[in-house]
């Protein structure tokens, strides 16, 4: 039986979409085929790498991908946008299943010193972890 595919989408695919992809893999194991992408991908934030390394999550496979990588190539059971820009600008495309929006602040947009930025990334990481756990529970009870 084919695993349900999930695509997490944000603007840059540099922070929160990478985070939520990693968290779903951590908590769901191999129950899903998980991907992430950005509308306008940039480099992965070093703060993303830092806070996931702290949490014991391997970041070696993290890299930013454009949405066009998946358009028309893969069917997704779930498309989950994780920022308002992605929610507003994500096109409807063939093979897109249920569309869900989870709103998280963009930690990359925070301006401050390195320690302050690290703390913001930790907070977003922790919010994402709670959202992933809640979603998995919701799917179990459905």
The answer to whether residues 59 and 30 touch, using CB atoms and an 8 Å cutoff, is: no
Q: Catalytic residue among 6, 9, 10, 79, which?
A: 10
Residue 62, both tokens: 């993290």
Q: How many CA atoms lie within 13 A of 70 on its CB side?
A: 27
Q: Catalytic residue among 90, 96, 120, 132, which?
A: 90
The helices-and-strands tally (H runs, E runs) of the chain is: 4, 4
For the question of residue 3 being annotated catalytic, the response is no
Q: Catalytic residue among 28, 51, 83, 128, which?
A: 83
Residue 77, both tokens: 């059971």
**Which among 100, 103, 97, 93 has a CA at the least distance from the CA of 128?**
103
- Phi and psi at 59, nearest 5°, equal -110, 10
For the question of residue 57 being annotated catalytic, the response is no
**Which among 24, 42, 23 has a CA at the least distance from the CA of 125?**
23
For the question of residue 46 being annotated catalytic, the response is no
**Which residues does the annotation mark as catalytic?**
10, 83, 90
């Amino acid at each position: 039986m084919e695993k349900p595919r999930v695509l997490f989408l944000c603007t840059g695919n540099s922070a929160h979409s990478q985070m939520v992809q990693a968290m779903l893999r951590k908590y769901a194991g191999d129950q899903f085929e998980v991907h992430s992408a950005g509308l306008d991908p940039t480099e992965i934030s070093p703060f993303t790498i830092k806070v996931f390394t702290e949490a014991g999550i391997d970041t070696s496979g993290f890299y930013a991908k454009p949405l066009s990588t998946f358009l028309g190539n893969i069917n997704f059971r779930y498309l989950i946008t994780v920022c308002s820009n992605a929610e507003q600008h994500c096109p409807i495309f063939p093979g897109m299943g249920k569309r869900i929006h989870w709103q998280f602040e963009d930690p990359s947009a925070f301006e401050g010193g390195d320690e302050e930025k690290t703390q913001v990334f930790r907070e977003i990481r922790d919010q994402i972890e709670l959202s992933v756990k809640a979603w998995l529970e919701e799917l179990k009870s459905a």
